Structure 1
Amino acid sequence: MKWTLAAALVPAGQLLDLARAAEENGYNSLALPDSVFYPEQVSAKYPYTKDGSRFWPAETEFIDPFVAIPAMAAVTTQLEFHTNVYKLPLRDPLLTAKQVASIAVMSDNRFAFGVGLSWIPEEFRFTHTEMRTRGARTDEAIEIIKAVCAGKGPEWVEYHGRHYDFDRLMISPAPTRPVRIFVGGHSEPALARTARIGDGWISVNTSPNKIIAACERLAALRAEYGRDDEPFEIIAGPVGDVSRDDYRRLEEAGVTECQAAPWWQYGVPLDDRAGMIDAARRFADEVIATY
């Protein structure tokens, strides 16, 4: 089992120190979420709470992961990074491919790209993108990014899809190893997308039992698509009173990496810089080193 330090909601000024601490204490990777802005009025409910409300205030910092990850890569040498998750259909896929390729090159291939759809109608309306086609456009965008970041350096690529169409072009620099694309979400379309074109899956923060059920469905879907013999990663976000037995059950179900945000577990406020570093170390000592 590998371990991710999940840095959602963490103030931007603490990320470099956390990246160093993660590398020094046995974490394999650090994950950052994506949020473009907060609409003052939101016409949809947040899908991951019982009452549909967000659990963070509007002023919570969400630094652009494409800015923060290169900065953290510059102060580490082995730590890997991924987005959890990047709202891909809000962006143009070629511009995104350029950024992903650049981050992969600048980090010496230590970047994986976790993608999702976004649940906020206003994000699509205010960025002049279409929510109705978000799934189909995400499928095509993943294919485009995979072509640009195939791991062979700069190559001529072209794409002719329903939503995106372009003739031969080259993006340089480009990575020397394929950029893995992880798909987030528990819905049936998200799991099917993962099984069909993803290199891995990222769970939401939920109970081990729900993650295991999703893993079982993913295994069935990957077999249906004839991909069950290909390399595949599962990054899980178990929450609650998670025991060592739970971690073992997750690993047996196919989970390859577990996320942890130890400051929540140990009751450390996000503005306590030293306390958050200590929490990351404590989790490493109590869980990672003894697992």
Structure 2
Amino acid sequence: MKFSVGIAMSPLEQLVPLAQTAEECGFANIALPDSLFFMETAAADYPYTPDGSRMWNAETPWVDPLIAAAAMGAATSTIGFYTNVLKLGSRNPLLLARQVGSVANLTQGRFGFGVGIGWAPEEFEWCGVPYAKRGARVDEMIEVIKLVLGGGMVEYHGKFYDFDRLQMSPAPSSPVPFYVGGHTEVALKRAARVGDGWTSAMMKFKDLAATKLRLDELRAEYGRENEPFEIQAVCIDRFGKDGYAELAEAGITDTIVVPWLFDGVAFDGPLEAKQDSLRKFAAENIG
């Protein structure tokens, strides 16, 4: 099983040195969060906390994950990066295809595209995209981005997106993996149908194990059971050697961890303390 480092809500000036230290310690990836803006009043509850509250405020630092991947990629050589997850619904697929292809090339193929729909109506409406039919629109977006990233002259004529022949060069030298997020049945079906993996938000072990089994069933229905498939998990109740072994046995291939939180260091804690936590975690769990 691989370990990836979640860097959500860390000060921006820490991101590059954290990636460098994670690479030195043998972590496989940096998991890059996405947040467009903080709305003072939210029309919907945040779906991944028990009470629907957001875990951040208006002053919490965020960076565009694609720009972060390019910056950290330029300062490293082996560690990978993936969005966890980028909210597709409020964005334009052709612009995203240009950005994703650029990051994949600039990192020499060390980039994975984790995608979700987005939960906040404001992110859609205030970016000029309707909240209605967001799932169907995202399905087309994935088709468009994959098509363009495949290289060559392409065209697309769908319900939501329509364009004649165009080409973006250079295409990535290898296919960019798509990891689909979401806990609903619709999201799991999307991951099984078009994804190279599925990624979780915060979940308990029993729910992760059940989700893995459901994904196996769905992938078999789509005839994809023999294709490689990542299971990226943020597990909130299994830790340490025994806990991670249990996750691996359940079929989790990539555990996303924030090692400094285990040591009582806050999201906005000092860089040196976070680097010490990365080294401690790696010594105990990697290798």
Normalized against structure 2, the TM-score is what? 0.97
Q: Give the structure 2 partner of residue 94 of structure 1.
A: 94
Q: Give the structure 2 partner of residue 131 of structure 1.
A: 131
Cα distance between partner residues in 1 of 2:246 and 2:218: 20
C-alpha RMSD of the superposition: 1.1
Give the Å deviation of 1:253: 2.6
Q: Give the structure 2 partner of residue 267 of structure 1.
A: 264
- Which of 171, 174, 189 aligns to 1:174? It is 171
Give the Å deviation of 1:68: 1.0
1:16-49 Cα offsets, whole Å, 9 max, x none, are 0000001000101101111110111101111111
Cα distance between partner residues in 2 of 1:12 and 1:134: 31
Q: Give the structure 1 partner of residue 50 of structure 2.
A: 50
Q: Structure 1 counterpart of 2:55, which letter?
A: F
* Contact 1:181 1:199 (C-alpha < 8 Å) held by counterparts: yes
Give the Å deviation of 1:250: 2.2
Q: How many pairs align?
A: 286
Q: Structure 1 counterpart of 2:222, which letter?
A: Y
SS of residue matched to 1:90 = coil
Cα distance between partner residues in 2 of 1:131 and 1:265: 37
* Contact 2:38 2:57 (C-alpha < 8 Å) held by counterparts: no
SS of residue matched to 1:137 = helix
Q: Give the structure 2 partner of residue 225 of structure 1.
A: 222
Structure 1 gaps, min length 5? none
* Contact 1:208 1:246 (C-alpha < 8 Å) held by counterparts: no
Q: Within 5 A, what are the aligned runs for 1:1-291? A: 1-150=1-150, 154-269=151-266, 270-289=268-287
Structure 2 gaps, min length 5? none
Q: Structure 1 counterpart of 2:113, which letter?
A: F
Residue identity (%): 49
Q: Structure 2 counterpart of 1:93, which letter?
A: P
Q: Structure 2 counterpart of 1:279, which letter?
A: S
* Contact 2:199 2:232 (C-alpha < 8 Å) held by counterparts: yes
1:114-164 Cα offsets, whole Å, 9 max, x none, are 0011111111111111111111111111111111223xxx41111121111
Cα distance between partner residues in 2 of 1:194 and 1:178: 17
* Contact 2:240 2:285 (C-alpha < 8 Å) held by counterparts: no
Give the Å deviation of 1:252: 2.5
SS of residue matched to 2:114 = strand
Cα distance between partner residues in 1 of 2:14 and 2:95: 28
Q: Structure 2 counterpart of 1:159, which letter?
A: Y
Give the Å deviation of 1:241: 4.7
* Contact 1:15 1:72 (C-alpha < 8 Å) held by counterparts: yes
